[in-house]
Amino acid sequence: MKFIAEINVMPQKEILDPQGKAVKLGLHNLGIDDVSDVRIGKHITLALDADSEAAAQQQVETACSKLLANMIMEDYTYSLKEA
């Protein structure tokens, strides 16, 4: 079976986000003042083959926790759908 995983990796809320702060300042400089917070993360799309949805979920969990996200500073969420 073929699956598509849409993964979002974001800095944890407790962690300072210098990129987000720079973008917020840039928005302010453009006259866009109603933005209260900006967080910058990563969006990753994986196309994978697996025997079942549970097997695909396990592969995505392994990829996220061991490679795609730094678990000390980042959190991740994902959605999985059959392709």
Q: Residue 29: helix, strand or coil by DSSP? A: helix
Q: Please tell me the CATH code under which domain 2-82 is placed.
A: 3.30.1280.10
Q: What is the pTM of this model?
A: 0.89
When pLDDT is cut at 50, 70 and 90, the band that residue 78 belongs to is very high
- What pLDDT was estimated at residue 41? 97
pLDDT digits (tens, 9 = 90+) for 2-60: 999 999 999 999 999 999 999 999 999 999 999 999 999 999 999 999 999 999 999 99
Q: Residue 2: helix, strand or coil by DSSP? A: strand
Backbone φ/ψ region at 21: left (φ over 0), alpha (ψ -120 to 50), beta? alpha
pLDDT digits (tens, 9 = 90+) for 61-73: 999 999 999 999 9
- What pLDDT was estimated at residue 17? 95
When pLDDT is cut at 50, 70 and 90, the band that residue 80 belongs to is very high
- Please give the span between the terminal C-alpha atoms of the chain, in angstroms, as a whole number: 8
- What pLDDT was estimated at residue 72? 96
